[in-house]
Structure 1
Amino acid sequence: MFLESALVTYYEEIRAALRDLLGRHETVDSGEFTPGVELPELTAAMREYLSVSGVTHAQMGHYRGKSLSLLDLTGNPATLTTKTFASLIIVARAVRYIQDTGERVTIVTPSSANKATAMRDAVLRAVTSGLVTAEQLNVVVVVPEGSVAKLRSSELFTDPRLRDRNPIAVYRGEQPGTVKTIARGLVDNDRELMETERKTHLWYTLQLENYLAADVVRALAEAEHFPAAPDRPRLHAHAVSSAYGLLGHAYGRSILPESDRARTLPSRYFLVQHLGAPDMVLSLYNDGTVDEAHRPAYVLRPEDGLYAQEENPRFPAVTFDPYETLDPTFYTRNPPTSARMNEIIHTQGGGGIVVSLAECLQRYGQVRSLLSEAGVRLPANPTALREWSLTMAVVGVLNAIDRGLVDEDDIVVHGSGSYAVGDFDGLTVRDLHTVADAEALRHVVLDATVL
């Protein structure tokens, strides 16, 4: 199944979801700017703007009697991640506000890199599609230094005026999640300053509902094109930091017509994380707590230099480092979404697992072969991979099957991101703005919003 432009196909459903999810919030004056919940009319320019939101479902084959398939959400060549979907809808709301009022909007986004890339691409598409001008809409992103290798060049960087208007700030401290504190502080402290001196509204978009509304397309496309068998439970597996995508799928299921929901069993969800940020899996199996004491104890094996453990099958059997960062995409600790995801999994079914780089390398050839059946190419050399999300998800599923942690025979892996060296032109820290706190970011934003 290939759906060429899911956001166009389900545009009215997304509109309704935005009104349902955010309508009540928009009527409360919190003092914080939001552009409202409405989207632009679906003109030819809007269709072009949304045209990169393709969705593909394809079979990967079987493993130990389990049917594996891929829901590929990485079709936008400018991002190669699922962050395209939410970013296009977020920016579309800003476009509608600008079209209605003539006022300027500056989006401020902390990110581990992929959301930053997708938001920048969405802003660029809005400008090049003629929906708004570069003076009316811009985006400022803040990323941790460890994610710089994931950033990519585009016209927002190669065009001098667009580069000035849309800066990338880099935080070089030890805690990657501090980028959220910096961006939040900038918006809280300087919103009025930017409105009065720069005549632009600061919009901090890191709100769950902004993502749920776009991710309903996963459930809508599934119900229409590849529904589960009526008597066969389906497991949805996803490499997650905060599980926004799975929560979006669950919400999308809830808004299906009752007749469609009744035809299949409730969806089950499977979380895949890494050792650097395993908090959702820890929370799931420890009554909502993420105490480090719940991690298994690893012992160094002198014979091969690997750390090993056998006490907890939901954690890697071997790893190069018990606290390794397999991929900086997944940097969120103790996400507020854990409680909601725990409730869904405990009620409907599913589970979670943590994987290591050593395990991903052990199974890399097998994963590469499975994904090739679904039309996804991984580089022959795993050191060329720059986004491990999809590989992590497949390895997590295979490990869980081997360890008897999965009962379901129908497993859909959500392909949320995969790219390698050669898929994009990169940037370096020297190309970007270094910030240590919200005050430093304020100067970056002031420069970017000069009238």
Structure 2
Amino acid sequence: MTLTAHTGPDTDTGLAGPRQRTASSGQPLTDHWDTVRTLVRALHERTAAAEPGGAAEDPAAFTPDGELPALDGQLRAYLAPASARVVRLPDYRGTRLHLLDLCRGPGAQAVQPGGALVTVARAVQHVRRTGQGVTLLAPSSGNRATALRAAVLRAQMCGLAGPDQVRVVSLVPACSRHKVADSALARHPQLRRRNPLVVYHGSEPGAVHELAAAYCRERASALRTGTGTALWYVHDPVEQQAMDALRAFVERDALGAAPAAGRVHAQAVATGSGLLGHRLGSTLVQPDGATEPSSSRYLLVQQLHTPELVLHLLTGSFSRDGVPPYRYDRARRLHQQPPESRDPHFPRTAHSLEEILEPTFFTRAPATAPATTALVRTHGGDGIVVSRYECLARYPSVRAMLRPAGIELPADPARLAEWSLVMTLTGVMNAVQRGLLTEPEVVVHGTGSYSADDDRAPVPDELVRYADSVDELHSVVTRALHPYGWRP
């Protein structure tokens, strides 16, 4: 089925080219590596303090200590994909727009690589300190799996770790397996065995986390005893929090302080962790003596299938009772909000009230909701839900807006394989047009954008493993650890 971009009364472009287009780029990880090391150590210690006992008593709860390697030439080369840039976009209805692009470094494969690079570097440091191998068990909606697999492969290519020292077992739902990029980690037989991509077929995509957690509870201890390798269940990693904090450093270096009227940071989100990380970083870049970081505000953008953060922000609950009423137009096969009761936070028109626009965003009832709600209510901003209909209506404008930044979206939106950036810009334009966003400046956080036409083929079906239960996953993991000589 070919998707067609529609136009209508909500899609006037409102675009104006900036008087002076600015761009700034850098290597935030290497530029601020000491800050990252300090943050990871502090975040790890805080997490460990909240969970007495931890890995020392329970191998299923293993995490490496909070140490990262010191920066040297080898590590600098390894971290190279984690570049970032800020690019001025065309204005929209008098609002200045900037793109904070976090996925344009060499080898980044169009997904945000920084958090994965730091996670694998932490595993490398554990191997160096203890001599014990680490196997990352990483449930993911797809993009993080690509990033972690790329980081493990890069660590080996840069000589930081051998193939038997750090490996990753990636667990993704079937609906997003196409998001995991092909690489030597899948093509090389021994690397593929050590670093399997595992597809889960359950009806609820988010259950990949439940399967990984159950596996760790039931099998991690035996694995550690039998193989000498530790199983690290990677979920909500502190490394990603530290990397997200660097967004504020990139912003400061490129744009300076926010204007008095405010600067909004907008992102399509599942948990809001990236914007929470920006807030953390903003507390670290204050001028000496400042007591309040800046005029940063936040716009949460979500889809109709998983609007929980916006619902929690607006109502304090995840209940879908907070979604406004819609009427179904049988002739047009569209759901529409009645004009007399329109809620500007939700789509005026949608193909389906449970549509999955971007399968990356599968998280239900995220634990971060209270923190993101407090973030927006304390510092300002809002939340908005967008539909596929709205994204298609805005698609020509978004495509034109991104072209000067060197991001070429496919002419046919059916070829777009990652919708988060289109969702964010659609949400920003809708929020401006509907009066939800009145600040003079917006920074759009871009964490991934790629099409089916990019040089980014998915891992072929014949190179993928499958697991829908603990026993099936155990078969895959033990085969991955076979080089240790263990026969389960």
TM score, norm. by length of structure 2: 0.89
Q: Which residue identity does 1:434 align to in structure 2?
A: Y
The whole-number CA distance in structure 2 between the counterparts of 1:44 and 1:130 is 11
Written as runs of structure 1 = structure 2, the 5 A alignment for 1:24-63 is 24-26=46-48, 28-30=52-54, 31=58, 32-63=61-92
TM-fit CA distance, 1:181: 0.3
Q: Which residue identity does 1:305 align to in structure 2?
A: R
User: Which one of the candidate residues 438, 446, 449 is aligned to 1:415?
Assistant: 446
Structure 2 match to 1:341: 372
The whole-number CA distance in structure 2 between the counterparts of 1:394 and 1:260 is 35
Written as runs of structure 1 = structure 2, the 5 A alignment for 1:362-377 is 362-377=393-408
Written as runs of structure 1 = structure 2, the 5 A alignment for 1:99-114 is 99-114=128-143
1:399 is aligned to 2:423:
no
User: Which one of the candidate residues 327, 330, 335 is aligned to 1:299?
Assistant: 327
User: Which one of the candidate residues 158, 161, 167 is aligned to 2:190?
Assistant: 161
Q: Which residue identity does 1:73 align to in structure 2?
A: L
TM-fit CA distance, 1:207: 2.7
Q: Which residue identity does 1:297 align to in structure 2?
A: P
User: Which one of the candidate residues 109, 122, 128 is aligned to 2:151?
Assistant: 122
> 3-state SS of the aligned residue for 1:83?
coil
1:441 is aligned to 2:473:
yes
The whole-number CA distance in structure 1 between the counterparts of 2:111 and 2:417 is 15
Written as runs of structure 1 = structure 2, the 5 A alignment for 1:211-250 is 211-250=240-279
Q: Which residue identity does 2:272 align to in structure 1?
A: A
The whole-number CA distance in structure 1 between the counterparts of 2:344 and 2:177 is 33
The whole-number CA distance in structure 1 between the counterparts of 2:105 and 2:174 is 25
> 3-state SS of the aligned residue for 2:113?
helix
Name stretches of at least 5 consecutive residues in structure 1 with no aligned partner. Answer: none
User: What do the CA deviations read for 1:152-182 (whole angstroms, capped 9, x no partner)?
Assistant: 1101011110000000111111100100001
The whole-number CA distance in structure 1 between the counterparts of 2:289 and 2:410 is 39
The whole-number CA distance in structure 2 between the counterparts of 1:309 and 1:2 is 41
Q: Contact conserved, 1:230 with 1:263, CA < 8 A, in 2?
A: no
User: What do the CA deviations read for 1:291-339 (whole angstroms, capped 9, x no partner)?
Assistant: 1211122222133221111432111111111100001000001100010
User: What do the CA deviations read for 1:407-437 (whole angstroms, capped 9, x no partner)?
Assistant: 2111010011100013201234443111112
The whole-number CA distance in structure 1 between the counterparts of 2:87 and 2:290 is 22
Q: Contact conserved, 1:88 with 1:122, CA < 8 A, in 2?
A: yes
Relative to 1, partners in 2 of residues 1:328 and 1:77: Cα closer, same or farther, differing over 3 Å?
farther
Q: Which residue identity does 1:437 align to in structure 2?
A: S
The whole-number CA distance in structure 2 between the counterparts of 1:29 and 1:266 is 40
Q: Contact conserved, 1:237 with 1:414, CA < 8 A, in 2?
A: yes
Name stretches of at least 5 consecutive residues in structure 2 with no aligned partner. Answer: 1-22
> 3-state SS of the aligned residue for 2:138?
strand
The whole-number CA distance in structure 2 between the counterparts of 1:197 and 1:415 is 43
Relative to 1, partners in 2 of residues 1:215 and 1:261: Cα closer, same or farther, differing over 3 Å?
farther
The whole-number CA distance in structure 2 between the counterparts of 1:189 and 1:269 is 40
Q: Contact conserved, 1:155 with 1:162, CA < 8 A, in 2?
A: yes
Q: Which residue identity does 1:168 align to in structure 2?
A: L
Relative to 1, partners in 2 of residues 1:78 and 1:284: Cα closer, same or farther, differing over 3 Å?
same
The whole-number CA distance in structure 1 between the counterparts of 2:290 and 2:392 is 39
Q: Contact conserved, 2:167 with 2:194, CA < 8 A, in 1?
A: yes
TM-fit CA distance, 1:192: 1.1
TM-fit CA distance, 1:210: 3.0
TM-fit CA distance, 1:11: 0.3
The whole-number CA distance in structure 2 between the counterparts of 1:126 and 1:286 is 45
The whole-number CA distance in structure 1 between the counterparts of 2:334 and 2:356 is 16
Q: Contact conserved, 2:258 with 2:296, CA < 8 A, in 1?
A: no
Relative to 1, partners in 2 of residues 1:229 and 1:33: Cα closer, same or farther, differing over 3 Å?
closer
> 3-state SS of the aligned residue for 2:150?
helix
Q: Which residue identity does 2:425 align to in structure 1?
A: V
Structure 2 match to 1:356: 387
Percent identity between the two aligned chains: 38
TM-fit CA distance, 1:24: 3.5
Q: Contact conserved, 1:105 with 1:202, CA < 8 A, in 2?
A: yes
